[in-house]
Structure 1
C-alpha cells in the first residue's frame, strides 16, 4: 500500500524534470544552427568579432554575396546538380531496395542472413580506399565531371542501408494479408501496389529521407570526381575559403541555403519519418 501510494507522486514529479531535460537537449542541438543563421545575418566585420556581437546590425549582405551580387558567380548550377544526384539516386535506391527487402523478409530466400551481412559488409570499406580505383575507372570511361556518375555512386553507397531498413519495415507486414491477396488471385505487381507500398509507406519515407540526406551531404567523391559542370553544393561551399581568408558571414549564409532542402524535406516528411523509424528500423 505504501509503495502504491508513493509511486504516482514520484512519477508526477519526474515528468516535468524529464521534460526540462528534453528541452535542454533540443536547445543544445538547435543552438549551433541558430548561431549560424544569426551570423549569416551580420556583416563581415561584425561576424569576425571575438566574442561575437549579438546586438550587431542585421543585414542580408552575406546572402547577396552568396548569390553572386558582386562576383557574378551563381550558386544555382551546384544546387541543381546536388538536387539531381540526390533525388535520382534516392529513386533508384528505392526501386532496387524494396524488391530486395521483400525477398529477404516476406519471401525469404535461403541463407537470407548471409545476404544481409554481405550488403552490410560493403559499408565496411572506407570510402577513401575506393576513391583511386573509382577515379581511374571513371577516367578511362570518360565519366569525370559527370553528374550521372555521382548518381550511380550515391545509389551504390546508400543501397545497403536502404535494404536493411526496408527489410525491417517489410517484416512488420502480416503474412496473412499477403496470403489472402494471393488466394484472391492478386499477382505480385498488384500486391506491391495495393498492399506492400501503402503499408510500408512510413518506412519508405524514412528510408528515402535518410538516403537523400546522405547523398546531399556527400563531398569526398564529389570533390574528386567533379570539376566545373557537375560540382555539387557541398563542394561549392569550399570555394568560399580563399587565399584572402574565411568570410564567415558569407560562409554561414551559404551553409544556411545549402541546408534548406534537407530541412524542408525533413519537416515535410516529419510525421511519416517518426512513424517509420518507430516501426523498428533503428531499434
Structure 2
C-alpha cells in the first residue's frame, strides 16, 4: 500500500494555536477608559470649581474660562475669620486610624480561627457577622444616643472610635477570612514545630503572607470611618466634630457657597485619595487574592 501524503499546507497549520483576539481586547480597553473618564469627570469638575469665585461658580451654563482664585481655600482654612477646619480634620484622622487599627487587631485572630483553624459551623458564624450589617444605622441611633448621654460620652472622639470599630469589624472579618484561607497550612505547622506561639504565628507568619489582603481591608475600613456622617452628626458637637460634619456647616440659610464647598470637599477627600493611591498595588492584590487558582 502507498501512504497518502499529507499536503504541506495542512501540516504547517495543524496544531497552531489561534492568535489573540485584538478587536475584543481593544474594545474592552476602550470601555475601561470611558468608565474611568466618567468617574473622573465629577472630581475634575469639583477641582475646577473650587478655584473659581462664587460668582463664576454660580453661573449657568458654567464658565470654563473664568479667572482662577484661591479664595475658596482661604475661606475654608479660616484665613477670612471663619472657623478653622484643623480640629475637625484631626478628629477624623484620629477616629479613622484608631478604629482601623483596632479592627485589624480584632479581625486577624477571628479570621484565623474561621479559615486556618476553622471552628464548627464556621459558615454560620460568618453569616452572623455579616447579618449585623443588615440593621439600619437609624434603628440603633436612639439607644446609642441615650447610652452616650447617660455615660457622659457625648461629644467624645473615643465613642466614635468604638462605634466605627464595631461597624467595620464584621466586614473586616468576612474579607480577611477569604484572604487568610489562601495561607498554606504547612508553613503554620512548621512554625508550630519550631515552638512558635499563636501571637508569633499571626505577626511573623500569617500577616506577611496576607499583607495585600490586610492592606485592602484596612483601606476600606479607613474610608468607611472617614466618610461616616450620621453618628458623628448626632453624637458630637464642638470638641469631637469630624470633617464630614464640618462640611455641613457650609450650607446655611444664606445659601450654598459652591466654590467654598468644592474646595472643602476636595481637601477632605485628599486623605482618602492619597491612601488609595499609596496602597493601590496592595489593594489590587488583596481584592484579587484567591480569584485566580
TM-score interval for Structure 1 and Structure 2 normalised by the shorter chain = over 0.9
Tell me the residue number matched to 2:59. 49
Q: Distance in 1 between matches of 2:71 and 2:190?
A: 62
Q: Which of 68, 75, 78 in structure 2 is aligned with 1:65?
A: 75
Written as runs of structure 1 = structure 2, the 5 A alignment for 1:1-283 is 8=19, 11-280=21-290
* Structure with bigger gyration radius: 2
What does the per-residue CA deviation read over 1:64-115, in whole Å, with 9 as the maximum and x for residues that have no partner?
0101122331000000000000000000000100000001111111111111
Q: Distance in 1 between matches of 2:16 and 2:260?
A: 60
Q: Distance in 1 between matches of 2:94 and 2:179?
A: 27
Q: CA deviation at 1:7?
A: 5.5
The 3-state SS of whatever aligns with 1:203 is helix
The answer for unaligned runs of 5 or more in structure 2 is 1-9
Q: Distance in 2 between matches of 1:15 and 1:120?
A: 37
What does the per-residue CA deviation read over 1:96-149, in whole Å, with 9 as the maximum and x for residues that have no partner?
000000011111111111111111111110000000000001000010000000
Q: Distance in 2 between matches of 1:280 and 1:234?
A: 35
Structure-2-length-normalised TM-score = 0.92
**Larger deviation: 105-114 or 138-147?**
105-114
The 3-state SS of whatever aligns with 1:8 is coil
Q: Report the RMSD for the aligned CA atoms in angstroms.
A: 1.7
Q: CA deviation at 1:193?
A: 2.1
CA contact (8 A) 2:216 2:286 kept: yes
Q: Distance in 1 between matches of 2:202 and 2:161?
A: 25
Q: Distance in 2 between matches of 1:131 and 1:223?
A: 11
Q: CA deviation at 1:171?
A: 0.4
Task: Kindly tell me the number of residue pairs found equivalent between the two proteins.
Answer: 280
Distance 1:63 1:181, change over 3 A: same
Distance 1:142 1:191, change over 3 A: same
Q: Distance in 1 between matches of 2:39 and 2:59?
A: 24
Q: Distance in 2 between matches of 1:23 and 1:13?
A: 15
| Higher helix residue share | 1
Distance 1:6 1:28, change over 3 A: farther
Distance 1:50 1:102, change over 3 A: same
